[in-house]
Structure 1
Amino acid sequence: MQIFFDNNSGKHTAVFYSFILACALLLYLLAPVKASAHPHVFVDCSLTFEFNDKGLAGVRQKWWFDEMFATMILGDFDKNHDNKLTPDEASALEQGAFVNLKNFNYFTRILVDGKEQSPIEAVEFKPTVEDGTLVYDFFVPLNITDSDKHVVMVAIFDESFYTSVQMDPQNKLLGANGQFQTNLILKPVAEMAYFFDQIVPEAAVLTFQTK
């Protein structure tokens, strides 16, 4: 089948398709783009806010790694391949696959009453193998001991997009024991937006005060 049109009609058609192409290109350039990088490591993360008699001691993090990354790391550090980590193996893993995260604040961002907490310190690191996968457990001290009302926001994310972190919607409290009035939720926090403010991470938001 042939389609015939006069010269003016052809010009109008060409202009129309040029306009559509230009619009499509403009939408592509203006659309939010996360990054050219894709995640290579996937982590499920759970937080436990730990209290003592004086106040909020800090937040404990527990990371569960994806099977592929766990297999790679355990292949390097679980020397006898028994899916258990001896003290020597755990120490070697800490030095080889955890300490360097200090340079990235352990992918952890914390705001206390809107004030950035940096650098982030990580202590009590303990790697284990649970259900065949690698698990990191460590503690980030905060030591908030006054009786004022505080809002603590904790988000775990990798701005390079190399590591994808999924936050647990049901994070925990430990040791409050009725001494503190608390509220803990998971929600997007605009104050932590990154990548040209296009990405707003979810954060565990704890509001607490001595009763």
Structure 2
Amino acid sequence: MHQRFAVFIGALAAGLTFATPAHVHPHVFAEARLDITIKPDGTVEKLGHVWRFDDLFSSTVLVEFDKNADMKLDEKELADLATTISQSISEYDYFQAVMHDGKNIAMAAPAHLMADFQNNQLLIIFESTPKQPLKLGKKTSFGVYDPTFYTAIDYVNDTDIHVTGLPAGCTQKVVRPDPDEAIAQNQGTLTEAFFNDPTGTNMSKIFATRLEIECAQNG
């Protein structure tokens, strides 16, 4: 099960020998929502993720996991799907990108990851927390990206990223990097070795939409 789903989301990374930015492109698309909850002391309490996948990929998953061939996924089949997805993306930190003053923040594995189908589209729903307590810094950013570049997960509207409990003295903004500018700024790292890394690359992270929270430092 793990191997089959991994083929869906990781085939591009496994099959690349070398690619340029013009040749690398996603094959699976998902619209995302992110709910960030901040405690009164400025500590990040949790991130709530919802991903809605495109019709073609959703249909592929339905056929793959519909073991009784009734053209729908029952509770057991959805549970198997959720387990497979969780195992497949766990090595990629569940496609999460959290940065604190320029440093990557490791996220704990979600206690529960749910799979569901609504209007014939696959939904992935989960909550996560930082592995270590994370207090908002001068700049803290949140987003999602697939390092294999096989899946494009994006927030269609700025309002699809929502913050609850933003402390006084902090501001938030949604950043949507310009691809040409992002490539120009990172040209020095876009080498053949970069694209040949079997663990994936940060290229999609460079392009990923993110929410930045900036807070005044009080010493």
Q: Cα distance 1:51–1:34, how it changes in 2: closer, same or farther (>3 A)?
A: same
Q: Distance in 1 between matches of 2:153 and 2:211?
A: 13
Which residue is 1:204 aligned to? 211
Asked if structure 2 preserves the Cα contact closer than 8 Å seen for 1:102 and 1:120, the reply is: no
TM-score norm. by structure 1 comes to 0.66
Q: Secondary structure at the match of 2:83?
A: helix
Q: Which amino acid aligns with 1:45?
A: A
Which residue is 2:57 aligned to? 69
Superposed CA RMSD in Å reads: 3.4
Rg (Cα) greater in structure? 1
Equivalent runs, 1:49-88 vs 2, <5 Å: 49-54=36-41, 55-79=43-67, 81=70, 83=72, 85-86=74-75, 88=76
Aligned positions, number: 175
Which residue is 1:42 aligned to? 29
Shift in Å, 1:63 = 0.6
Which residue is 1:95 aligned to? 83
Q: Which amino acid aligns with 1:129?
A: F
| Percent of pairs with identical residues | 17
Asked if structure 1 preserves the Cα contact closer than 8 Å seen for 2:174 and 2:210, the reply is: yes
Give the strand-richer structure, 1 or 2.
Answer: 1
Q: Which amino acid aligns with 1:205?
A: E
Shift in Å, 1:183 = 2.6
Q: Secondary structure at the match of 1:106?
A: helix
Tell me: higher relative CO, structure 1 or 2? Use CA pairs within 8 A at least 6 residues apart. Answer: 2
| Aligned counterpart for 2:162 among listed residues 150, 172, 176 | 172
Shift in Å, 1:156 = 1.6
TM-score norm. by structure 2 comes to 0.64
Structure 2 unaligned segments of length 5 or more: list them.
Answer: 1-18, 191-201
- Deviations 1:24-74 (CA, angstroms, capped at 9, x unpaired): xxxxxxxx9415343221111111101345532121111110111111112
Shift in Å, 1:150 = 4.5
Q: Distance in 1 between matches of 2:72 and 2:40?
A: 38
Shift in Å, 1:119 = 5.5
Asked if structure 1 preserves the Cα contact closer than 8 Å seen for 2:46 and 2:128, the reply is: yes
User: 2:159 matched to 1:152?
Assistant: no
Q: Secondary structure at the match of 2:78?
A: helix
Equivalent runs, 1:100-119 vs 2, <5 Å: 100-118=88-106
Structure 1 unaligned segments of length 5 or more: list them.
Answer: 1-31
Q: Distance in 2 between matches of 1:198 and 1:92?
A: 31
Q: Distance in 2 between matches of 1:45 and 1:179?
A: 24
Q: Cα distance 1:185–1:158, how it changes in 2: closer, same or farther (>3 A)?
A: same
Q: Distance in 2 between matches of 1:198 and 1:158?
A: 9
Q: Secondary structure at the match of 1:123?
A: coil
